[in-house]
Structure 1
C-alpha cells in the first residue's frame, strides 16, 4: 500500500536531498505544496494532518510549531531539526544505537545531528561496553562541509571563495552538545570544537583519548574489536582496521549515506584517536531521515540510500 509523505521545509538543503532519495519509489506518495501554499499555515496544517509520515526540515522553533499543528495521533513524524533530540516522548533516530525496533514502533523520531552522529557512533558503544568512562571530560574536534550551515552559510562560502576554514562555537553552547552528552551517557558535556571547510559536503569527527591518564579505559585493540562487534552486519556503518597516514575530505565528494569508523592507537599505547568519516548531508541528515522512514514503514532500511 502506498503511504503519503509530507516534507515540511522541502526547499531547504536537507529536504531536497530527502526528496531525491525518495524519487521513483512506489512505496511512497509525496505531498507537495506550491510556493504560495507552502507558506500558508492552513495549507501546511492540512498536509501535516493528511500525511502518514511527516519529515520536518525546519528551524527549531518552526519544527515545534509544526508538531503543534498536528491534531491527530496517526501521523508519524521525523524531525530533522535539533528541537526534539533530548525531548521526552521522542525516540532518538540513530537505529544502530537505540535499536531498530525502537524506531519501528515510534510515532515521534528525532533525527540525529551530523556532528553527533560521528561522535556518538564512536563513543556511545565504548562507554556502554565499559571501555571508556562515562565521567571523562571528552573533547571532540570536527570539520564539516559548508552545506550543513544552511542557505546563508552556503551563500557566504560560495560568494567568498577566499574562506578556507571557519572555526565557530568557540565559547561553547553549541546546540549539538546536549544530545552528544545525553545519548553517550556522559557526566560532563564534551568540549566541542566544530569547524567548516571550503567543501560543499563531507565530515570528519575526531575524539582524542589520552589513555595514559585514563586507567579505566580499554586499549585501542579492544576498542576496535568492540566497535566491530557492535556494528557487525550493518550495511551503513563500517568499522575498518586500516590506519592510513592521513584522512582526506575532497571537495568533489559525491553524496553517500555511510558512516566509517576508525581507531588510531599510538605504538606505545598511551594515546588513541577515534575518527569518523561521513557525509554531513547523508548519514548526518537526509540519509538518516530516509533510513528512519524505511524502518518506520517496515521496509528495507537501505532502500533509496547511497551506499
Structure 2
C-alpha cells in the first residue's frame, strides 16, 4: 500500500498495512470533512503537523517525506507551494491529492472524478498527482460528458449551466454571514461570467464552446443542484428525452455512486427536485426533465457539495490512490 520505497507503512494490531496520510489544511471545511470520513477507516493512519509549525517549511518538508499521501485543502497559492516541496523531495515525496483549484486543468495531473470515463478510476489509482474536482463541475461534467460522447451535444452547441449550493461551500466568511443571519436568503454570484470552475467544466465536459455558468447560493448549509437547459431541436440529431436518458444510463454502471434516475421516477413525474436529499453521502443523482411537445429539456444533477462535491470525492480518490 505504500507509495514510496523509502516509506514504511504503519500497521494495525492485526499486522495489516496502512496508508499514512497528511491533510495539509485540516482545519478548513473540506479538511474537517475528510478527517471525519477517515476516522472510521482502520486502513488509514493520519499524521498532523503541530499548529505552531504550520508555516515551518522544514517541519512540513520532513513530514511530507514520511507519509504516503498528502491531501491539500489549501488556497491555490499555498497548494502550489506544498506541491513544490513534494517535487523537491523526488522519489521520497508522497502522492498528492489537491482539493484546491490550482491543478484541475494542469498538465501531468489526473482529474479525480472516478466516474468521468472508462478507465478513469484506474488512472487515479496509478497517478502521483490527482486533482479533486470542484463541486459544481462534478454535477455539470457528469451530465454533459456522456451526451458529448454520444453525439447529442456537438462542438458548436451553446450550453448554459445553472447551479445552487448550500452556503458551506462558500468559505469561512460566507458561512459566518449565513449562520449569524446577515446574509440574504438567496443570491446569484459569479456574474462576471469568469467563475474559477469554468475551465474544468469545459475541459472535462468536452465542450467545444465556453459555457455560460451562473452559480447561486441559498440559505441552507449543504446540498447542491446543477441544471442544464436544452432546446432539443438545436442538438445534433434532434434527440428525445429518452435518447438523452439512454446516453446517461449507458455511461454509468448500475449500482455505482452515480445514479441515473428513471424517467418514471416520482421526482420527474412531479417536476420537483430539492437539493438536500443526498447530504452526508457520496452519491450523485442525474435527472432528465422534458416537455416533448415544446422540444425542451432540463438536465439536473443532485449531490452534496461537501460529499461527492468535496470531502467524499477526496476520500474516494484517496482509497484508489493507496490501494485501500
- The answer to whether TM tops 0.5 is yes
Q: 2:90 aligns with which of 66, 72, 97?
A: 72
Where 1:264 maps in the other structure, the secondary structure is: strand
Give runs of ≥4 in structure 1 deviating > 3 Å: none
| Distance 1:200-1:221 versus aligned 2 partners, 3 A rule | same
Q: Which moved more, 1:130-139 or 1:63-72?
A: 130-139
Residue 97 (structure 1) aligned with residue 128 (structure 2): no
| Structure 2 equivalent of residue 261 of structure 1 | 286
| Structure 1 equivalent of residue 210 of structure 2 | 189
| Structure 1 equivalent of residue 189 of structure 2 | 168
TM-score, structure 2 as length reference: 0.88
Where 1:95 maps in the other structure, the secondary structure is: coil
Instruction: Tell me the distance in 2 between the aligned counterparts of 1:44 and 1:154.
Output: 29
TM-score, structure 1 as length reference: 0.93
Q: Which moved more, 1:33-42 or 1:264-273?
A: 33-42
1:277-292 to 2 correspondence within 5 Å? 277-292=302-317
Residue 223 (structure 1) aligned with residue 250 (structure 2): no
1:198-209 to 2 correspondence within 5 Å? 198-209=219-230
The number of residue pairs the alignment matches comes to 298
The runs of 5 or more residues in structure 1 that have no matched partner are 300-307
1:2-13 to 2 correspondence within 5 Å? 2-13=18-29
Conserved in 2, the CA contact under 8 Å of 1:139 and 1:191? yes
1:182-206 CA-to-partner distances (Å, cap 9, x unmatched) read 1111121110000000011000000
Residue 82 (structure 1) aligned with residue 101 (structure 2): yes
Aligned-pair CA distance for 1:222: 1.0
| Structure 2 equivalent of residue 305 of structure 1 | none
Instruction: Tell me the distance in 2 between the aligned counterparts of 1:245 and 1:210.
Output: 18
Q: Which moved more, 1:283-292 or 1:97-106?
A: 97-106
The runs of 5 or more residues in structure 2 that have no matched partner are 1-16
Q: 2:274 aligns with which of 244, 248, 251?
A: 248
Instruction: Tell me the distance in 2 between the aligned counterparts of 1:211 and 1:146.
Output: 33
| Structure 2 equivalent of residue 159 of structure 1 | 180
